[in-house]
């Protein structure tokens, strides 16, 4: 087990991230501590092994087509937003028209009309309640600006 005070230094020494003064301090410690010098050797061995690993560079065409892959997603994203907004508007309009037709139709039973209106009122209350709760918690969230 490396001496706790020299753990960070050992990594920085290994990766050549120490200035000359720190290097000198660490080398002095190494000379007097066989545990740390032993562990340093093991880490050096590990570095030699990982240095052998070379990541495979993909074919050049992958880089040439890379941006178009990202751009297609951006384009599709805009498409989906427009599609969703239009679908919601159409659903609201269609729903409103259908409900209007049912309410105005004298052939439809009064009980069905009352049930339908009650259902709409219930949905509206639920929606408002959920929205209000969300807004309340969002405003009270002390960590909302914390990067996660």
Binding site for another protein (CB under 8 A): 2, 7-12, 15, 17, 42-43, 46-47, 49-56, 58, 62-63, 66-67, 69-71, 73-74, 77, 147
Q: Residue written as tokens 């309410």?
A: 103
Q: What are the C-alpha distances in Å from 29 to residues 39, 41, 43, 135?
A: 13, 14, 17, 58
Q: Nearest approach, Cβ of 79 to another protein (angstroms)?
A: 13
**81-84 contact pairs (CB < 8 A, 24+):** none
Q: Nearest approach, Cβ of 141 to another protein (angstroms)?
A: 16
Nearer CB in complex with another protein: 7/91: 7
Nearer CB in complex with another protein: 41/105: 41
Q: What are the C-alpha distances in Å from 145 to residues 86, 103, 131, 134, 138?
A: 32, 48, 20, 16, 11
Q: Nearest approach, Cβ of 30 to another protein (angstroms)?
A: 16
């Amino acid at each position: 087990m490396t001496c706790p005070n020299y753990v960070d230094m050992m990594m920085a020494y290994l990766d050549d991230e120490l200035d000359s003064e720190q290097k000198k301090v660490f080398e002095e410690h190494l000379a007097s501590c066989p545990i740390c010098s032993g562990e340093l050797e093991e880490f050096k061995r590990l570095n030699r092994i990982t240095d052998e690993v070379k990541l495979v560079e993909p074919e050049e065409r992958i880089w040439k087509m890379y941006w178009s892959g990202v751009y297609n997603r951006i384009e599709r994203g805009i498409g989906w937003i427009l599609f969703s907004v239009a679908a919601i508007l159409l659903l609201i309009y269609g729903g409103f028209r259908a409900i209007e037709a049912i309410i105005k139709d004298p052939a439809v039973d009064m009980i069905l009309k009352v049930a339908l209106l009650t259902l709409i009122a219930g949905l509206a209350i639920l929606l408002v309640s959920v929205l209000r709760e969300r807004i309340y918690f969002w405003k009270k969230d002390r960590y909302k600006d914390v990067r996660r």
